Amino acid sequence: MKPQITTQPREELRKTLLAARRALTAEQVAAWSQRLLEHLLRVFPQPPGKRIAFYAPIQNEPDLRPAAALWREQGATTLLPVVIAPRAPLIFRPWTPDTPLVPDRYGIPTPNEGAEMTPDVVIMTLNAFDARGYRLGYGGGFFDRTLAALQPRPLVLGVGFEMGRVESIQPEAHDQAVDWVLTEAGAWAVGRSGNSQIVGLY
């Protein structure tokens, strides 16, 4: 899909694309999520790591819980992120389909109990994204701080809908690029160098 060319400031772009995604119907979200899942599992039919952090979907985000459940059956440990302080890196706690979740200060379903674990794979949502793998989240900077702090750096998969693809998010010095971009249209390995070459499309 051709990226949107935009000169909107980052915060304005974030709000515009979030509003557009919130306006999607449940049927559209389900259909696009299913296509995205198919691409994800084609690229990673086996768990991409031993400890995989993903997210509980909110605001019409792609629902990856079926992939997480499958990878758990194959031996992976699945984790959810937890905010512990406004400007601190995230921590991660184990998730299973039976894990009780409670809304955190941002309304995100979160496990409030469980051992802290370090992921070797992190899957995050893309509200806006570009071909170099840079993304806009919700503006809190949590994932950028977390990825900068994790050593060794985990494999990072960014997932979103094509409606969020833009020519450039105008990345800043603190922004952390993802290693893969996956949408309902396909999967692209963008690499950590930040170059824009598409090296994997399914």
* Tens-digit pLDDT profile for residues 115-129: 999 999 999 999 999
Q: Identify the CA nearest to 196 among candidates 144, 142, 132.
A: 132
| pTM of structure | 0.88
pLDDT at 47: 96
Question: Closest Cα partner for 155 from 58, 76, 69?
Answer: 76
Gap between the Cα atoms of 139 and 133, Å rounded: 17
Across the range 52-57, mean pLDDT stands at 94
Nearest to 81 by CA among 149, 148, 37, 142: 142
Domain 10-189 top-level CATH class: alpha beta
**pLDDT tens digit sequence for 173-201:** 888 999 999 999 999 999 664 444 444 44
Tell me the CA distances in angstroms from 191 to 131, 134, 141, 181, one per residue in order: 10, 11, 21, 10
Question: Domain locations in the chain?
Answer: 10-189
